[in-house]
Structure 1
Amino acid sequence: MKRWGRPVALAGAMAWGALLHGAVAAAPALTPCRLDGIEHEARCGTLERPLDPAAPQGARITLHYAVLPALARNKQPDPVFFLAGGPGQSAIEMAGPVAGMLSRFLNRRDVVLIDQRGTGRSAPLLCDDDADQAPLARQFEPDAQRRRLAECRRLLQALPHGDLRQYTTAIAAGDVEAVRRALGVARINLVGVSYGTRLALEVLRQSPRRVRRVVLDGVAPPDMVLPVAFASDQQRAVEAVFSGCEQDADCNRRHPDLRKRWATLRNSLPRDWPVAHPATGVVERQRVTPEVLDAVLRGPLYLPALAAALPQAMDQATRGRLEPLAGLAHAAGGRRGVGVAMGLHFSVVCAEDAPRLPPAAPREDPLVRRYRDACADWPRGSVPPAFYQVGPSAAPVLLLSGGLDPATPPRHGDRMAAALGAKARHVVVPQAGHGVAMLPCMRDVLYRFIDTPDEAAALAAVRADAGCAVQLPRPRPYQPPAPPAEPRR
């Protein structure tokens, strides 16, 4: 689960007006706009949608979407639809990173970003977000978290669009289809990341004839049961940190018996600990529990470059200094484009995952318990039974997994590739974390998979093209710089 997020202001641009033409660009509802991180002009549009699809004459919401237009005059007719993660991220707020990842497509294909209902400007379900500056106790103590979430739920339900049952993945997939129709295109290509892969699978299920190609990066299947999977998959990622250090002679020498010392630290908790706040520098007394340690580890595990510093930070924690760990967590949480609308997050998880939680156990994982508590009072939308069933795909599907991913590791991709059938290809990058498509050489893999006209040729080239990423080495464990030598006298 990502940290609490605030919306990033949208902006609009003025540069490519003479190049805007064709089915997407000519849609009358699109107007010039400037997006954060995008140098050139984009086109933004809105679409009125019923809040409750079963009551089309009732309350309505405004769905926001943006088109990054292709440069070529003779562009391809099938745009790329990008579906963001979370659940709760705004696709439009991620325009800059997405444009970099899909830059080759922008020569001949439009890229469409939809703020899923409940995110960005599309009837946002935003909770109070002062996490960067808030006291540590407010961020981590379970009672404080429960109070904040209960207050958030109360405020959201008072909004005109506050029926929290109307924000499921199945309803969001209907919104995607509505945008396709509004843009006047016959077929689309889907690129989903993290939770966006769940949405992509539902779009594929609902509108199979309208989907040409699918890329699923960090596969989060509909039957995943997010809290349970997050807990077990994170523990595997932590074990990989220990194993990586033990297999590196220098790391093992500098941090001997790290696995054992970390277990000793966890067994000594809970206890009060003075910790310097990573944002304010103010020393606070924090009640540290195993759940707090897990929460602090979660962010750095997503990025191997940050995870490489975990042995050093965990070693320092066993010696009484939590600041290095807190600093890594702050760095991971400060990445652009990871803000999450927590009202949407819980609306999705409580409707789709919470009903499938196993019976509560006396020694339940704290993360599972947190979701169970949160969902006990959260309004739950209706989920069709077919939502959980993934069958063979008529469209080619490329699945991508990072071997070090703490949230969507390869086991989920393996299962979905088998379910999707003969037109599915699963690529595992052993030393990658959460998100494989952003790796430089993988951008070409995505491009060739979608751009190659012949399906068989596109599928056959995937494994050979992905060799550049599969062979990437793991980042070496971080070693702090040696102190400067004493000057000679």
Structure 2
Amino acid sequence: MPENRAGHRHGRTVRLAVAIIPAASATPAGDPVVFMEGGPGGDAFGNIPFLIGAGVNRDRELIVMAQRGTLHSEPNLACPEIDRFYAGAVGLPFNAPSTGELLVRATKECRDRLTAGGAELAAYNTTENAADFADLRAALGIDRWNVYGYSYGTNLALTYLRLYPEGIRSVAIDSVAPPPVVNLPWTWDSFREGLDEVFAACEAQPACKNRYPDLPGTVTEQVRRLEEHPLTLTAQPPGGGNPVTVVLDGGSLVDLLVAKAVPFADLPAALDELAHGNPERFARARAAGATPVIGEFAYGLKESVACGEWVPGYSRADVLAAGRRNFPGWPDAVLAQAPQLPFQYDVCRVWNVPDRTAVQRVATVSDVPALVISGTFDSKTGASWGRYAARTLSRSTVVRIPGIGHWVVPQSCCAQSVLTSFLAHPTAPDTACVADLAPAPFTITPETEAA
């Protein structure tokens, strides 16, 4: 593919790897499914087992392409410098300026290396990404196909549908990040929505309500306490290996909550244990970050998209205001950093790509049949944003799966059934299984005395 379709850089090209997984059915339908990975920067090939396990290829061929800049594509815009920063950051205060300086330094080192190798970072954006998929369909000679994307892949899928609607039979978007609203303040809104849904589910289960009567108050108390008095602990990474030193403070607790580092079923118990002087579950979850797979995630694509399409137009004050609106009483040091995107303004200053919001923050208006799937516990892309995106998709079906977090289909048999039905009948999928769903029971532990 051209690296930059505007014709710059003397026709430099990128190479994108494509995997084609046969349909499980002996009599497959003729229109395949093409998958759009999240991130941005995730390894699409690494998620093929989850797609097969979820039955996405049950009745249709499944096509998976490594997006530009990601693992298995050329060039691969991985940043081992940033991977190594995050491995060491588990032992640092999450929101400290000194931590941010180390992240910015690692980011600049990666940027300098990638640009020295000839990469035009501004070309790694959602518009070019969508054009790659349009060219892929033509290269494979496919008349019509179905699109399935999750997380950033929904942002990409909606952009692709807006720019290249021809040949698209249907679109399924899972854990929706609508292009018009993805920005740093928005992350606080999604976190609040997902966390509220978890706490409401506990409130609706008598055993959980009686055992953990004030989870919102517990979280606020622990975020404030840990930010004022951070804990330095030794913890065993969940995947094994030597124990590592971790710092558990208010910012890192929030990051772990957004990332679902502790399973939802165990979250009330983990918060109660933390309040009673036992931080082990969160410490182990924090320690997991000490053993990343170096070079797997493409920060080059992630930063180019985030800095060109998500960050511009909103200030640091806007992020703080959104945090205060959603979590009044939390420390400003925590609220000043967008969940999952700490120090992003400083990172983008050194990444230095153009503002693309005018061409990217655009709603997709379409009558192509669409399935919009959200998990009620999703703290990264709150479930309400699925309904928001569906407002301009006139033939859309909106499904909310209770008790599920980010990337719903691999986690929910019902969602898998709905997706299969949608691919067979895009304008009339069978969603009956949703009506009987409820969040799974939460783990109830014996009461403990405060340490």
TM-score bucket of the superposed structures, by smaller chain: 0.7 to 0.9
Q: Secondary structure at the match of 2:416?
A: helix
Tell me the CA shift for residue 220 of structure 1: 0.7
Contact 2:151 2:177 in 1 (8 A): yes
Deviations 1:282-340 (A, max 9, x none): 36362x44222111222227x8xx1121111112222333221133456799999x963
Which structure would you say has the larger RCO, counting Cα contacts within 8 Å and 6 or more residues apart? 2
Q: Which residue of 2 aligns with 1:144?
A: 102
Tell me the CA shift for residue 145 of structure 1: 2.7
1:404 maps to a residue whose letter is F
Q: Write the distance in 2 (CA, Å) between the matches of 1:184 and 1:132.
A: 42
Q: 1:238 to 1:334 in 2, by over 3 A?
A: farther
Tell me the CA shift for residue 111 of structure 1: 0.8
1:63 corresponds, among 6, 13, 16, to: 16
Report the TM-score when normalising by structure 2: 0.83
Tell me the CA shift for residue 377 of structure 1: 2.2
Tell me the CA shift for residue 184 of structure 1: 0.8
2:398 maps to a residue whose letter is H
Tell me the CA shift for residue 371 of structure 1: 1.6
Contact 2:68 2:129 in 1 (8 A): yes
Q: 1:154 to 1:244 in 2, by over 3 A?
A: same
Q: 1:468 to 1:420 in 2, by over 3 A?
A: same
Q: Which residue of 2 aligns with 1:38?
A: none
Q: Write the distance in 2 (CA, Å) between the matches of 1:366 and 1:294.
A: 10
Q: Write the distance in 2 (CA, Å) between the matches of 1:193 and 1:441.
A: 17
Tell me the CA shift for residue 386 of structure 1: 4.5
| 1:425 equivalenced with 2:401 (yes/no) | no
Q: Which residue of 1 aligns with 2:253?
A: 293
Q: 1:332 to 1:133 in 2, by over 3 A?
A: closer
1:136 maps to a residue whose letter is V
Tell me the CA shift for residue 194 of structure 1: 1.0
Contact 2:381 2:406 in 1 (8 A): yes
Q: 1:467 to 1:282 in 2, by over 3 A?
A: same
1:250 maps to a residue whose letter is A
Please show how residues 413-452 of structure 1 align to structure 2 within 5 Å.
413-421=386-394, 423-438=395-410, 439-452=412-425
Q: Which residue of 1 aligns with 2:40?
A: 87
2:314 maps to a residue whose letter is L
Q: Which residue of 2 aligns with 1:471?
A: 436
Q: Secondary structure at the match of 2:148?
A: strand
Q: Which residue of 1 aligns with 2:162?
A: 205
Contact 2:265 2:443 in 1 (8 A): yes
2:362 corresponds, among 381, 389, 395, to: 389
Q: Secondary structure at the match of 1:420?
A: coil
Q: Secondary structure at the match of 2:79?
A: coil
Tell me the CA shift for residue 373 of structure 1: 1.9
Deviations 1:373-397 (A, max 9, x none): 2112223246373533224313111
Q: Secondary structure at the match of 1:60?
A: coil
2:414 maps to a residue whose letter is C
Q: Secondary structure at the match of 1:53?
A: coil
Report % sequence identity.
29
Tell me the CA shift for residue 414 of structure 1: 1.1
Q: Write the distance in 2 (CA, Å) between the matches of 1:311 and 1:99.
A: 32
Please show how residues 27-426 of structure 1 align to structure 2 within 5 Å.
49-55=1-7, 57-70=10-23, 75-103=28-56, 105-107=57-59, 109-122=60-73, 123-128=75-80, 129-130=83-84, 134=88, 136-137=90-91, 140=94, 141-160=99-118, 162-268=119-225, 269-279=227-237, 280=241, 282=243, 284=245, 286=247, 288-300=248-260, 306-328=263-285, 340-358=297-315, 360=317, 363=332, 365-367=336-338, 370-381=343-354, 383=356, 385-421=358-394, 423-426=395-398
2:61 maps to a residue whose letter is D
Deviations 1:227-250 (A, max 9, x none): 222222112323333343344443
Q: Write the distance in 2 (CA, Å) between the matches of 1:143 and 1:420.
A: 43
Q: Write the distance in 1 (CA, Å) between the matches of 2:130 and 2:93.
A: 33
Q: Write the distance in 1 (CA, Å) between the matches of 2:230 and 2:26.
A: 64
Q: Write the distance in 2 (CA, Å) between the matches of 1:396 and 1:333.
A: 43
Deviations 1:399-453 (A, max 9, x none): 11111111122221111111122x112111232221222211322321221223x
> What count of residue pairs does the alignment treat as equivalent?
418
Q: Write the distance in 1 (CA, Å) between the matches of 2:251 and 2:347.
A: 16
Query: How well do the aligned residues superpose, as a CA RMSD in angstroms?
Result: 3.1
Contact 2:20 2:61 in 1 (8 A): yes
2:336 maps to a residue whose letter is D
Structure 1: gaps of 5 or more residues = 1-48, 453-457, 484-489
